[in-house]
């Protein structure tokens, strides 16, 4: 079945620094979404990408369907960025079925 491999599984950043999260896909994906899950468990939408790059504040995401990967860059990390980040993708093969296949998540801890 569709597989989404997300890395790293955990990441610690000092305030003000940055890093990147990555998801690799084993099949062709039509689109990818990135979410932040906060301490209360709510999934907050960050990006939806069918291709290319989007930027929002300190976050930037890229989706390359041909090379089967997506990245999420965080710069100038703040304490409120702590949480678990998930990528989730829609497979081309599913047609009208829009189910998301989730990565395993990245637990981000921002340290003062």
| Single residue of 14, 41, 66, 80 touching other proteins by CB under 8 A | 41
Judged by CB under 8 A, the number of residues near other proteins is: 24
User: Quick check: 112 binds other proteins (CB under 8 A)?
Assistant: no
What torsion do the CA atoms of 27, 32, 36, 42 make, to the nearest 10 degrees?
Answer: -90
* Least distance from other proteins to the Cβ atom of residue 37, Å: 8
Neighbouring CB atoms inside 10 A of 77's CB total 22
Q: Which two tokens stand for residue 63?
A: 């989706």
Gap between the Cα atoms of 84 and 80, Å rounded: 12
Which residues of the shown chain bind other proteins in the complex (CB under 8 A)? 31, 33, 35, 37, 40-43, 45, 48, 50, 84, 86, 88, 90, 96-102, 104-105
């Amino acid at each position: 079945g569709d597989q989404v491999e997300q890395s790293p599984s955990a990441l610690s950043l000092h305030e003000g620094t940055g890093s990147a999260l990555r998801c690799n896909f084993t099949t062709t994906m039509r689109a990818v979404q990135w979410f932040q899950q906060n301490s209360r468990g709510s999934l907050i939408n960050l990006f939806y990408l069918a291709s290319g790059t989007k930027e929002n504040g300190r976050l930037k995401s890229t989706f390359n369907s041909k090379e089967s990967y997506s990245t999420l860059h965080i710069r100038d990390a703040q304490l409120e960025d702590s949480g678990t980040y998930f990528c989730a993708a829609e497979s081309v093969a599913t047609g009208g079925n829009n189910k998301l296949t989730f990565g395993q998540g990245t637990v981000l801890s921002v340290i003062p």
